[in-house]
């Protein structure tokens, strides 16, 4: 298998990666045949997966604009994936010139490509890190150089928590991140759920099984379980809702039914 110039040395390009599968769903070019094969298998059960990912990205952009409008100028995007059009730094720095952004991902391809995209941007960096190890993220020298944790931060966990199994204590990781943030910080989340998917749970489980096969288990949580991540935050209106229903601009009309799969919400630290 030929290794593209953008693929860092030392990564195993025979194993699918969640961030590269996501890139494929969004029409990106930074994925391998093994990623495309996994994506196609998942789409056999849930053909609307690309629509779900597009709804995730659209919500992310709206939430970043909301944060900028609220005066937040620091953004921490954990599980940021491979850059696509309308990234956090583009939206944030367009709304707030000088806004500072730290991208964190555990996929070396995502980090390397983010570094290439951010070359020359002194207010945005990409670092390697794992949501399951929040202390390592919070103490990373490059994060400390760019972000002042004594000032409000928008913490973005978009389409990442559903890849953290309960045994890895995602609630504990979120609480540790929350406790490190200043009052007025915002917590931005999307999360997969069987609720809202226009398929039977039995059929949707076929997609879940594909992710299990590629050693990236997809944990489908209930709305109540997702709401638990917001403990310690005040929910921003309209609360925890399907992605197209969070402050739509304009109001969703001909939205694809798959876009309503899972939930999105924003909380504010008191």
* Distance (Å, whole) CA 83 – CA 107: 12
Residue 11 in tokens: 């990564």
Indicate whether 219 belongs to any domain: yes
Tokens 């009052």, residue located = 183
The parent domain of residue 218 ranges over 18-269
pLDDT for res 116? 87
Indicate whether 149 belongs to any domain: yes
pLDDT for res 5? 67
pLDDT 10s digits, 52-104: 999 999 999 999 999 999 999 999 999 999 988 789 999 999 999 999 999 99
pLDDT for res 254? 74
Residue 64 in tokens: 């970043």
Indicate whether 72 belongs to any domain: yes
Mean residue pLDDT across the chain? 94
Give the residues of the chain that fall short of pLDDT 70. Answer: 1-7, 10, 251-253
Write the CATH number for 73.
3.40.50.150
pLDDT for res 255? 87
pLDDT for res 109? 84
Indicate whether 66 belongs to any domain: yes
Indicate whether 13 belongs to any domain: no
Indicate whether 230 belongs to any domain: yes
Alpha helices in 70-162 (DSSP H): 88-95, 108-117, 134-138, 141-146
pLDDT 10s digits, 68-82: 999 999 999 999 999
pLDDT for res 86? 84
pLDDT for res 113? 86
Indicate whether 168 belongs to any domain: yes
Q: How many domains does the chain have?
A: 1
pLDDT for res 44? 97
Q: Quick one: 208 exposed, middle or buried, by C-beta within 10 A (0-12, 13-18, 19+)? A: buried
* Distance (Å, whole) CA 244 – CA 167: 31
Indicate whether 11 belongs to any domain: no
């Amino acid at each position: 298998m030929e290794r593209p110039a953008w693929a860092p040395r030392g990564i195993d390009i025979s194993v699918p990666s969640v961030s590269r599968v996501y890139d494929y769903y969004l029409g990106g070019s930074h994925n391998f045949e093994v990623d495309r094969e996994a994506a196609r298998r998942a789409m056999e059960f849930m053909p609307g997966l690309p629509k779900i990912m597009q709804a995730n990205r659209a919500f992310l952009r709206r939430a970043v604009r909301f944060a900028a409008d609220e005066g937040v100028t620091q953004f921490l995007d954990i599980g940021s994936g491979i850059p696509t059009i309308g990234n956090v730094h583009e939206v944030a720095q367009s709304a707030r010139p000088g806004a500072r952004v730290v991208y964190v991902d555990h996929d070396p391809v995502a980090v390397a490509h983010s570094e290439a995209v951010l070359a020359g941007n002194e207010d945005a960096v990409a670092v390697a890190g794992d949501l399951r190890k929040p202390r390592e993220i919070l103490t990373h020298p490059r994060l400390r150089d760019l972000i002042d944790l004594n000032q409000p931060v928008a913490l973005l966990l978009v389409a990442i928590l559903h890849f953290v199994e309960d045994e890895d204590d995602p609630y504990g990781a979120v609480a540790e991140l929350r406790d490190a943030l200043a009052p007025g910080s915002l917590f931005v989340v999307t999360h997969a759920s069987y609720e809202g998917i226009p398929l039977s749970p039995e059929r949707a489980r076929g997609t879940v099984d594909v992710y299990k096969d590629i050693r990236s288990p997809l944990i489908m949580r209930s709305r109540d379980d997702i709401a638990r991540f917001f403990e310690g935050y005040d929910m921003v209106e309209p609360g925890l809702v399907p992605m197209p229903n969070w402050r739509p601009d304009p109001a969703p009309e001909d939205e694809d039914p798959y876009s309503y799969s899972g939930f999105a919400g924003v909380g504010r630290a008191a």
